[in-house]
Amino acid sequence: MRVCVRACVCVYIHRFLVCPQVSGELDDCHCDVESIDRFNNELLFPKLQALLQTDYFRFYKVNLNKPCPFWTSGSHCGLRDCTVKPCSPTREALKNWTKHDDEAQRFCLLDDEWCPDSQYVDLLLNPERFTGYKGPEAWKIWTSIYEENCFKPFTVKRPLSPLYSSGRSEGQCVEKRAFYRLISGLHASISIHLSARYLLSDEWFEKRWGPNVSEFRSRFDSELTQGEGPKRLRNLYFLFLIELRALVKALPVVKEGSFKLFTGQPQEDCRNKERLLDLLHTARSFPLHFNETSLFAGDETEAAKLKEDVRLAFMNISRIMDCVECFKCRLWGKLQTQGLGTALKILFSELPSSPPSSRLTLNRQELVALVNAIGRISTSIKELQNFRELLAEDT
């Protein structure tokens, strides 16, 4: 038995690599995995978790009844754990939040806040975890995302497996490569959540959720995934850098005196804004941020066309979330997609190729989605540490 310890513990047992080695610098940015681990696990993660417990960030308004626009869905998931519990009517005060989204620079679809089918959902009562939703219908979602909406590496054969992710898409420009890595990173993050909160036992009166090491290995083990597992995890870290940078770029908007986190509780609203500002200042203290000015540089006409291609591709991916048959999976898919779309909106709003339109604004839906989205990515990186420790205990 051989044990190697670096950013990730690699343990060789029965000739299988049970924890993928992820360390060193990431592609397309000047940052390393070890620095992200320390910063996230020690500084960012605790503050994010505290903020996500507050009323402002735990309630998300979403329309879960939109029909799939791309194919006829046979039925909805009938599993108990696929259902979503709506919040109580007493929380309806949240819909008084003033809508002021920036329509021109949207990167994902915002559900109509006044649509009769939209409802507030308490995210703490509906945690993201393994629901039992799997098989052909679940694979169909990721196949559609990767095959039809991602800028795929030229060297990849068709059809593309939903579990495929390229660490670096050879032959592509940095923008298309980055977009592909973001989707791969989101897929990796969701896979970690499902592995970390897996249904381990289902007794008559009690269910027990916890980490499933075998499920984690099946998705990220280097040998079991033909070397793709570590690449997926590196894309997760790349996604973290993108959303972290978006938090920092949102700081000037949140600092404005007129920017309120309205829940109808003035004192709590004030404390929540202080907590959010503290989080954003912490994010700004990270020394190795992604440089978004490297994107869409060069010829302005070509850059604007490429940016629009990326925006439309992401809009299409947001529509695919309405095809997910598990309502709880749809909820978290829509939220995290909107969060990433908000991050892209923020980063792209100040690039040279952006039109000289009105200044950046964020509405409640976008801010709640953004903070929850990076909360999910932050949790994934934290869970990686937990899996390393579990795997080390098995040696």
- 315 CB contacts (<8 Å, ≥6 apart)? 106, 107, 108, 109, 341
Distance (Å, whole) CA 105 – CA 345: 6
From the CB of residue 368, how many other CB atoms can be counted at a distance below 10 Å?
26
The residue type found at 265 is Q
Residues 6+ apart with CB under 8 A from 55: 91, 94, 263, 265, 268
Residue 129 is labelled as binding a ligand: yes
Q: Distance (Å, rounded) from C-alpha 136 to C-alpha 331?
A: 20
Q: Is 219 annotated as a binding residue?
A: yes
Q: What per-residue string of b and e applies to 56-91 under the rule 16 or more CB within 10 Å gives b?
A: bbbbbbbbbebeeeeeeeeeebeeebbebeebeeeb
Does 76 belong to an annotated binding site? no
187 assigned ligand-binding residue:
yes
Q: What beta strand segments (E) does 173-250 contain? A: 198-202, 207-210
What does the alpha-carbon distance between residue 269 and residue 41 come to, in Å, rounded to a whole number? 27
Task: Measure the CA–CA gap between 18 and 105, rounded to whole angstroms.
Answer: 43
Cα Dmax for the chain: 63
Flag whether 142 is marked binding: yes
Catalytically annotated residues: 326, 329
Structure-token match 């939209």, residue found: 118
Say which DSSP state 147 is in.
I
In the annotated binding site, the residues are 129, 131, 142, 184, 187, 219
In the annotated binding site for FAD, the residues are 129, 131, 142, 184, 187, 219
